[in-house]
Amino acid sequence: MELIKKPLLILSVILVSISLNVPSKGSPPTPPFPEPVYNLIFFGSLAVFITNSYDRPSSFFQWMTLLASLISYITVPLVYAREYSCPTKSLTTTMAGSFGVKMLIWLRDCLESPKTVTPFWWGLVNWRTIKPSDKDQQRKLSTNSVSLEQRFISFMTVWATYVLCAQILEFFPPEVPNKPYVLRVIDFIRTGKPFISLHALLYCYIYGGALAVSMSFLYELILLHAAILFRVLCMKPKTPLHALLTPSQQVSLKEWLSSLLFDAKPLFNYPILSSGPIDFWKNRWHSVCTENFSNLGSMFARRFEKGTRIRKMMEVVGTFFVSAVIHEYYSVSVHGKSRGEHFSFILFHALVIIVWENVWGLWRNLGVAERKGRNTENEKKEREEGAAKKMLKQIAKILGWNLIVLLSAPWFFERYIRDEYYHCMAHFVCVKDTVASASTH
């Protein structure tokens, strides 16, 4: 261990010094070093963090190494990513934002719960909560538990939906004013001047759906391959894969795959059916990011007493603040600038949650007080009509929330339309420059 301490320290110092070497404003937009070197620095920072995080840091040197690699890992894409190809900058900024949050959570846990800390890399592959009582049941799972046909149908359904949405975005883009959406809404309130066309409004709504479906497509692809691998592990007679793994490794891999296939929440759980902002952001929209943002953002509310309304409000604000910072990080890393549209959009929805929950809470309290003053005969009559009323109320909440999403979607997605990123949705890579170049000839 002593032999590698000095090289690791030197490497960390080099990575930090490179990441903090911000180009001047007058410098040409050319990469400071070749793309392979950029990738080496980026993934090298991640490797340094992983190799030093098998256990809680036990020395000042190890703490400094982890912090230096974390700073380098986050800062390198922020400073240089925009100068490289779209696949490279998209991948590195996404990984830096997602894994960076996990790194911060892991370091916090090292300080607060040192006895229960697990290796950092476990959190990259074991991000689901598995009940201990379910392990024996998982070991008994057979090949019949996984229907490859059903998984393939699910994958093809998501793929077809994505292709349809991507083609709509590619061929029917609207004209978007350069003035931010929020300022146009304010002008509408003051002067009555239209702030957006119906075409652009629906287009932004579809853009959000296409973004969700594109991430679901990649997730379904992972699940399809996991189902195939699980089927292979359950095969008799044994396959070459069984010869490569020990019996204990086969059991571990089988349990991990069964957890992925059966225990994991869907990445997106029909967001269009959300009955409110809590249901949308907590239960139906990108479950992985939601858990990470909530885990880190809850720190902002610790000074308040548990169970109080102010603590719940601060947990919401903290979670959405972390999300807003990460989205702005993506924006600045990829585009080199930001107008704060994503940041303000996300904090606006934090405010919507607070207002929505308080309004519905007041409504529920009034309903309870009203029911207490009624006699038994009226209560029986209400129960008979209750199912229909409950369904109508649920439909009204779904429609009301979707109206809010529809009207606020341009706030978030107009940035992508101005920069013509709709050309990229159908290709999973950036082709907007190619399309723009072809259109000029």
Fill in the amino acid letter for 195: F
Residue 423 has pLDDT above 50, yes or no: yes
At residue 441, does pLDDT exceed 50?
Answer: no
Spatial neighbors of 258 by CB under 8 A, at least 6 apart, are 138, 141, 145, 230
DSSP-H helix ranges across 113-197: 122-125, 135-139, 148-171, 181-191
Q: What is the pLDDT of residues 70-86, one digit of tens each?
A: 999 999 999 998 888 87
List the Cα angle 129/131/132 in 5-degree steps.
130
Q: Is the confidence at residue 69, as pLDDT, over 90?
A: yes
How far apart are the C-alpha atoms of 63 and 274, rounded to whole Å?
A: 43
Lowest mean pLDDT, pick from 231-235, 343-347, 395-399? 231-235
pLDDT of residue 127: 56
pLDDT at position 129 is: 52
How far is it, in rounded angstroms, from Cα 148 to Cα 229? 10
Contacts of 260 (CB under 8 A, 6+ apart): 128, 222, 223, 226
pLDDT tens for each residue of 9-27? 554 454 445 444 444 444 4
Stretch 303-329: mean pLDDT, rounded? 88
> Shortest CA distance to 258 belongs to which of 136, 356, 342?
136
- The arithmetic mean of pLDDT across residues 38-63, rounded, is 91
The full set of domain ranges for the chain reads: 2-22+29-125
> Which residues have CB under 8 Å from 94's CB, separation 6+?
330
**What does the pLDDT average to over 300-323?**
87
CB within 8 Å of 15: residues ≥ 6 apart: 41, 44, 45, 48, 68, 69, 72, 76
Helix (H) or strand (E) holding 399: helix 376-418
Q: Each residue of 248-283: pLDDT tens digit? A: 888 888 888 887 887 777 888 899 999 899 999 988
- The model's pTM is 0.80
Comparing CA positions, the residue from 355, 367, 349 lying closest to residue 404 is 349
pLDDT value at residue 149: 80
pLDDT at residue 294 greater than cutoff 80:
yes
What pLDDT is attached to residue 116? 82
Residue 2 has pLDDT above 70, yes or no: no
Sign for the pseudo-dihedral over CA of 269, 272, 277, 279: negative
Please state, rounded to an integer, the average pLDDT across all residues of the chain. Answer: 80
Q: What is the pLDDT of residue 416?
A: 86
